[in-house]
Amino acid sequence: MSQQQPTPADTAGGVRHDFLHDFLLDPARHSPGAPAVIESPQAGHTAVTTYAELTALVGEYAAGLHALGIEPGARVILEADTTAPAIAMLLACSRAGLTFVPVSPETPYRRLESIAETVRPALHLQELTGQRTDVRPPVGTARFGPDGLTVDRAPVRRPPRRGTPCVTDPAYIIFTSGTTGRPKGVVMSHRAVVAFYRGMLAHRIAGPEDRIASTSPLQFDFSLLNIGLALGSGASVVPVPPPLVRWPRHLLRVLRETGATQVNGVPSIWRQVLRHEPRRLAALDRLRGVLFCGEEFPLPELRRLQELLPAARIVNCYGATESMACSFEDVPSPLPESIERLSIGTAHPGAEMLLVDGTGAVIDAPGVVGEIHLRSPALFSGYWDDREATRATLVPDPLCPQSGQYVLRTGDLALRGPDGEFYFAGRIDSQVQINGNRVELAEVERRLTEHPGATAATAIPLPLPGGGQRLAAFVVPAAGGDLGDAGALREFCAQTLPPYMVPQEIRLLDRLPTTANGKVDRAALAAGAEPAA
Ligand code: ADP
């Protein structure tokens, strides 16, 4: 198939760089021979894909997709881990005017089916090694590999209803867990994702010499952040296959063999490494950056990470899938002992975080907790086919509701520091009632991790048989730390917390369960807890 065949986005003209693929493949950012993707899935095997090779693969895939006659704007399920071909394929979808929906090869069939019922894809794509066999017609199926696209079942050809691709078209849809249990499809336009990339790149977190290890599965937007950070900086992406992230030795092996200079992931990727492989971690002398996102980094673990990687720049990246992320703040090095909370800084250039109180008024005073509302050009367009949920999340700008401009209501609480910087203060829904008292779970967790023998903690409410809730906590002891028993930990909490905030039950765990994207799995903790007597 000719690589020169025009694809819809090629004919757009004018604003080329506001399409995802144009922005990331902009030749001005990188030299053709420079490594774009460095992989090391098995010990001793390192594969490099240069920018020229990646661009050629994108061209080949885009031409293959175009030849299938799929209507521009159609959805394509991209079932893959982060690999060089998968990165090429998502850029090819962008170039072919198709909206990609990344899903993991580990996605259970029922969930995949529910995503497919929601977005009605034209095509399901997987790598040559993909195991999925039960995709139902009329969805077309195809595989991609180093030699191009192989069609198993042709998708339905439809005459295009759209002519010129537009930067407000959906670039991708990412499905989040959704609090109701039904996954919500976050629709991101080319314009929004490129606006985000521009804001992120202004922080100069990476340069062309960097090799950025991405530990997040492709179906989470954190992986797209990493791909954008690497390609947007002319650096290389180092995808770490999800099964390897879970094993400290494998993770460290990939980092060593690929010469990774930066590791980006949720805080939990470090927990077992710090516990079991501190020396091997400290020996990674090329590592000079860590970016974390997704949840608070327990301070004892963060301090330990700084001790082991004293020269590393550690960046706290805050945000939600609905805006990709919105702030990047360097963690002070070393972290002062007096610090209780990490700053999430302020929004990236071109965006602004506001705090809003329960009456909808904007809070200006420092120290007052409010809900973060984000004014930004990098907001999602809406939840796919879910107007009600979209209306609840994209709300009129509290600064000027008359303007018709919408902002993202995040559901996150924060307060401002003396210099206008923001401090994350938990989710709105992490405020629970225990015996009629309002308890902020994050505050309980913070107190528990102040114990010198604790390294991480999670507090959750559990139901009481006769109604009401009790407070339970799960604590991970530091390696070699002395936590004492549950009674001693309760006493430790009672030194600073009111009695109703002292967990009635405290359990010690070697590891906290995590969700597929590596955040603490509170539902699993609750499900595994024994009912109260
Ligand atoms: P999910 O809802 O599946 O967790 P997201 O990845 O979009 O999906 O989660 C976004 C939420 O994660 C934010 O609204 C915030 O509550 C939390 N979060 C993200 N980054 C940080 C951070 N750096 N510090 C604290 N919390 C964070």
Query: Which residues, at least 6 apart from 219, have a Cβ–Cβ distance to it below 8 Å?
Result: 102, 103, 104, 107, 174, 175, 516
Candidate from 295, 372, 428 with most ligand 1 atoms within 8 A of CB, to mutate: 295
Residue range 130-150: mean pLDDT, rounded: 94
Ligand 1: which of 215, 342, 412 to mutate, most ligand atoms within 8 Å of CB? Answer: 412
| Mean predicted confidence (pLDDT) in 392-420 | 96
| Residue among 216, 291, 321 to mutate when testing ligand 1 (max atoms within 8 A of CB) | 321
Cis peptide before 138 (omega within 30 of 0): yes
**390 C-alpha vs ligand 1 centroid, how far in Å?**
18
The residues lining ligand 1, judged by C-beta closer than 6 Å to any ligand atom, are: 176-177, 293-296, 316-321, 344, 410, 412, 424, 427, 519
pLDDT at residue 247 tops 70: yes
Q: What is the 3-state secondary structure (H, E, C) of 239-273?
A: ECCHHHHCCHHHHHHHHHHHCCCEEEECHHHHHHH
The pLDDT of 369-376, averaged and rounded, is 97
Å from CA of 96 to ligand 1 middle: 31
Centre of ligand 1 from the C-alpha of residue 318, in Å = 7
The predicted structure's pLDDT at residue 528: 81
How many residues can be counted in the chain? 533
How far, CA to CA in Å, does 198 sit from each of 192, 319, 348, 350?
10, 15, 9, 9
Strand ranges inside 94-195, DSSP E? 99-103, 123-127, 140-145, 148-153, 170-176, 184-189
Q: Residue with the nearest Cα to atom 10 of ligand 1?
A: 320
Tell me the per-residue pLDDT of 273-313, one tens digit each, with 9 for 90 and over: 999 999 999 999 999 999 999 999 999 999 999 999 999 99
Residue 498: pLDDT over 90: no
32 CA → ligand 1 middle, Å? 36
Mean pLDDT of the chain: 91
**Interval between CA 266 and ligand 1 midpoint (Å):** 10
State the average pLDDT over residues 26-40.
94
Q: Which residues pair with 291 in a beta bridge?
A: 264, 315
Nearest CA to ligand 1 atom 12: 294
CA 295–ligand 1 middle distance (angstroms): 5
At residue 221, does pLDDT exceed 80? yes
Number of the ligand 1 atom closest to the C-alpha atom of 344: 23
The CA 294 to ligand 1 mean position distance, Å, reads 4
Band of residue 1 on the pLDDT scale cut at 50, 70, 90: very low
Distance 426 CA to ligand 1 centre (A): 10
Q: Please name the amino acid found at residue 327.
A: S
